Amino acid sequence: MTILVTGATGTVGRHVVEQLVKRDADVRVLVRDPSKSDFPASVSVIQGGLLDVDSLRNAYHGVSTLFLLNAVVADEYTQALLALNLAREAGIERIVYLSVIHSDLYVNVPHFAGKYGVERMIKQMGFNATILRPAYFIENDLTIKEVVTGYGIYPMPIGSKGLAMVDTRDIGEVAALELLRREQSVVPLPIERINLVGPNTLTGQDIAAIWTDVLGRPIAYPGEDTVAFEQNLLQHMPSWMAYDMRLMSERFITEGMLPGTGDVDRLTALLGRPLHSYREFATQVAASV
């Protein structure tokens, strides 16, 4: 049977597809622009989007397991509910959904609250699902590497509680393993939630120290000015998203983004290898500048 991957050209989705192909799965992807996709010949490509009901119905035909990834957009919740209802209509019962860690804690942050709502709908609609809850993506910091390397500061206001930052390669591999586990099971598997975290929980000062070490020159952490952070983001994204990111950063500062007991050990055992670290990421970036 076929596994459908949404968000397949994105930061996480491409790793999911890669890992599924490595394991000889029958993979189909839903993409807005097939001309911009570059998948192996074995991957079936369907043009469409999560607000296009006809394209979703077409993509779902013959699918047994769904990887549902919704980008952070203004209508994210609507997209997810359409995808779930149409999946049920198509007879798809097995789902792996990419949510976010602490979705039930960061209740005032729009995209966290939206994902938690989707989690509740998955349960209430009776799907057999794995809900993956990743922490902050390490690769998010590619967007600020020029600030780090050019201006000598780590500008993300992540605070002193600590974030269990996770590498998207680890997310993609765990997602693929869960998709195949559900796909290959002869009986429905119960809902399961998995926190996806990195091997270290890092503060703003910790990350500045890592950059200082790998670059061989001082990198400062200027602190937690979330108002200035929002203003800077307005140069690159719409105001609703910049404010959403500010609210998220304020929860980083007050709550942190901490792993649960046993999360790191569980993921290490599942993958059969150590988790990728922030230091590994920073070292690779430093070698490229």
Check: CB of residue 60 under 8 Å from CB of residue 75: no
As a whole number of angstroms, the distance between CA 142 and CA 282 comes to 9
**How many separate helices (H) and strands (E) can be counted in the chain?**
11, 7
**Residue 142 carries which DSSP code?**
G
Percent of the chain clearing pLDDT 70 (strictly above): 100
Check: CB of residue 156 under 8 Å from CB of residue 233: no
Check: CB of residue 93 under 8 Å from CB of residue 32: no
Instruction: Give the residue from 14, 73, 35, 36 showing the smallest Cα distance to 27.
Output: 14
Q: Per residue in 213-228, pLDDT tens?
A: 999 999 999 989 999 9
**Model pLDDT, residue 130:** 98
Q: Per residue in 13-48, pLDDT tens?
A: 999 999 999 999 999 999 999 887 889 999 999 999
**Model pLDDT, residue 35:** 84
CATH superfamily of 2-135+168-196: NAD(P)-binding Rossmann-like Domain (3.40.50.720)
Check: CB of residue 264 under 8 Å from CB of residue 201: no
Check: CB of residue 210 under 8 Å from CB of residue 75: no
In this prediction, residues 149-165 reach a mean pLDDT of 97
Percent of the chain clearing pLDDT 90 (strictly above): 96
| Helix (H), strand (E) at residue 247 | helix 239-255
Q: Per residue in 46-98, pLDDT tens?
A: 999 999 999 999 999 999 999 999 999 999 999 999 999 999 999 999 999 99
**Model pLDDT, residue 79:** 97
Instruction: Give the residue from 28, 48, 47 showing the smallest Cα distance to 39.
Output: 28
In this prediction, residues 181-188 reach a mean pLDDT of 94
Its pTM stands at: 0.96
User: Does the pLDDT at position 180 exceed 90?
Assistant: yes
Q: Per residue in 244-282, pLDDT tens?
A: 999 999 999 999 999 999 999 999 999 999 999 999 999
75 alpha carbon, distance to own chain's centre? 17
User: Does the pLDDT at position 117 exceed 90?
Assistant: yes
User: Does the pLDDT at position 131 exceed 90?
Assistant: yes
Token representation of residue 229: 């952070």
As a whole number of angstroms, the distance between CA 74 and CA 209 comes to 36
Token representation of residue 259: 């792993």
Sign of the alpha-carbon dihedral angle for 130, 135, 139, 140: positive
**Model pLDDT, residue 37:** 85
Query: What average pLDDT does the chain have?
Result: 96
Beta strand 63-68 with 27-31 is unpaired
User: Does the pLDDT at position 188 exceed 90?
Assistant: no
Measured from the Cβ of residue 223, the count of other Cβ atoms closer than 10 Å reads 14
Contacts of 224 (CB under 8 A, 6+ apart): 157, 159, 204, 249, 253
Going from N- to C-terminal start, the domains of the chain cover 2-135+168-196
Q: Which residue has the tokens 């192996």?
A: 40
User: Does the pLDDT at position 185 exceed 90?
Assistant: yes
**Model pLDDT, residue 1:** 81
